[in-house]
Structure 1
Amino acid sequence: MSRPLRFRSLTSWTMGRSWRMTHGSRPSSCRHRPLLCLSHDGPTATIGQTYRLLLRLLGIDATSAKKHQVIGLCIGNPEHRDGFRYFAGIIPSSGMKPVGAIQPICLEGGLYASTRLVGPYALIGPTFRALFNGWLPRSGYLSDGRPALELYRNPPLSGLKHQSVTDLAIPVREA
């Protein structure tokens, strides 16, 4: 990484129509957010293929993908393959229904520590490690077991032709 990771904020995310980020606040009323997700099976380097399959199954082409919020759910530690699960997800638009292996998942809102990654997707894993192993132990907060989140600000379909912008968030609670 060319520059050091800086903790961006404590964020209360309420899962409304779009992601609203209120920096430095505590969650007051957190709503659940329905997602349509496809479980990823394989190495983390192939997660992009799962996103492409998710969008193809939902009938979303590369042009219209920009209109949808794409999100990754990370459960467990990817360095321990047995306990790690990843879901490629999308916030569904009105009338969108699960098809095939796509499953509905209800994501809880709550307090997250977040940082914005501008750079290649290959830096997502090291950035999460820096948040969990560097920032979290010194923060006065504890991880609370909800999934870590990857909010893709530009669709993962775009490839490496531009700078990728991804908000990474780890769920926290007061110690």
Structure 2
Amino acid sequence: MATSSRNRAEYQKRVNRVLDYIQDHRAEELSLETLAAVAAFSPFHFHRVFKSMAGENLREFIQRTRLETAASHLVLRPHVDVLEIALENGFSSASAFARAFKERFGMSASAWRSGGAAQASKARQAESKPGEVVRKPGKAAGCAPEQDGSSSGADARSDEEEIMNVTVKTLPNYHVAYVRSVGPYGPGGNVREVWERLVRWASARDLWTADRICLNIAHDNPNVTEPAKCRLDAAIVIPDGFAVDGDVNVTDVPGGKYAASVFVGDPSTIGAAWDQLFGRWLPESGYQPDHRACFELYQGEFHDPKTNTFRCELCLPVRPL
């Protein structure tokens, strides 16, 4: 077996171990820390690793499998109280289960038990196409799921070849001044505002030079953390001992081994590039994420205002698998 295949198999094994653990302990509280420990991955990046291998985020998988198991039990165990089934599948109350069940299946648990399940089954059979193969949920797929908007064939191969251009290298510690944004990373957030504040501050102190080094540091995963609580730091490297004021904060970004992938393009596509780095390159690389923040590294003039093109390196902290 080729090295990349062995590495992906190791990722699959670890994620499948988590899927099995969730199924066996669905009545219990399933914390991120517990599940990351089952997989032997850093909790800091486990959500992205899980989604890249399982095709859905951790919270969605837990909720879906709990509801689907409960739906099966409602039919197979017709004399068992609905609340008992709800508690067995990790729901804390009848009202919480009722809301989640109706949102998922479009009817109450009682209606499902009294004939709704059979109607839903007939509807699914009618919608199925002859010869269609449906992958059974519950195990990680052999390949990472395609991202929204991705194409197949030659285009898909080109995307994969591009993201495979990754260099694992040792980066130094960066002593930085930063302005923090708290809120959505995309539309509705204030990321542009904090970068403008940083540029004004740095320019006034002759730090916004042609050879400057800037970091865009994301502390949270927007697929997990509530958008209003996502933290992002717009940072610039400053000399040791440089005197700062209350307009900025100062911190040290730890160095070490990072997987670095060059990104050139419209900023709206950078999220997809991160997804490919986690979902395509990482599982076959022989590395796993380390417990340090990801960041984008910008050097010199990184923005072409005529084309709105940005150039940076996506820096993912890693350690051996």
Counterpart in the other structure of 1:68? 212
| Structure 1 unaligned spans of 5+ | 16-31
Counterpart in the other structure of 1:139? 285
Give yes or no for contact 1:113–1:171 (8 Å, CA) kept in 2.
Answer: yes
Quick one: which of 140, 164, 175 aligns to 2:310?
Answer: 164
Write the deviation string for residues 114-167 of structure 1: whole angstroms up to 9, x where unpaired.
1101111222211111112222122221111101120113446x4632432111
Give yes or no for contact 2:217–2:295 (8 Å, CA) kept in 1.
Answer: yes
Greater Rg, structure 1 or structure 2?
Answer: 2
Quick one: which of 165, 170, 180 aligns to 1:12?
Answer: 170
Equivalent pairs: percent with the same residue?
24
Q: What does 1:11-90 align with in structure 2 at a 5 Å threshold? A: 11-13=169-171, 15=172, 32-45=173-186, 46-60=190-204, 64-82=208-226, 84-90=230-236
1:59 to 1:97, Cα distance in 2 relative to 1, 3 A:
farther
1:12 to 1:61, Cα distance in 2 relative to 1, 3 A:
same
Distance 1:79 1:6 in 2: 24
Give yes or no for contact 1:154–1:164 (8 Å, CA) kept in 2.
Answer: no
Aligned-residue offset at 1:66: 3.1
Distance 2:260 2:196 in 1: 25
- 1:108 is aligned to 2:254: yes
Counterpart in the other structure of 1:97? 243
Give yes or no for contact 1:57–1:99 (8 Å, CA) kept in 2.
Answer: no
Counterpart in the other structure of 2:22? none
Distance 1:69 1:41 in 2: 22
Write the deviation string for residues 7-58 of structure 1: whole angstroms up to 9, x where unpaired.
3211111x2xxxxxxxxxxxxxxxx321111111222234232111112134
Distance 1:109 1:64 in 2: 22
Counterpart in the other structure of 1:123? 269
Distance 1:137 1:44 in 2: 26
Bigger Cα displacement from structure 2, 120-129 vs 104-113: 120-129
Aligned-residue offset at 1:84: 3.9
1:39 to 1:63, Cα distance in 2 relative to 1, 3 A:
closer
Write the deviation string for residues 71-101 of structure 1: whole angstroms up to 9, x where unpaired.
1112231222347421110001476433224
TM-score, normalised to structure 2, is 0.43
Indicate the structure whose relative CO is greater, using CA pairs within 8 Å and at least 6 residues apart: 1
Q: Which amino acid aligns with 2:217?
A: L
Give yes or no for contact 2:212–2:300 (8 Å, CA) kept in 1.
Answer: no
Q: Which amino acid aligns with 1:7?
A: N
Residue 210 of structure 2: SS of its match in structure 1? Answer: helix
Aligned-residue offset at 1:65: 4.6
Higher strand share: 1
1:99 to 1:61, Cα distance in 2 relative to 1, 3 A:
closer
Distance 2:203 2:257 in 1: 33
Higher helix share: 2
Equivalent pairs, count:
157
Residue 169 of structure 1: SS of its match in structure 2? Answer: strand
Residue 164 of structure 1: SS of its match in structure 2? Answer: strand
Give yes or no for contact 1:37–1:102 (8 Å, CA) kept in 2.
Answer: yes
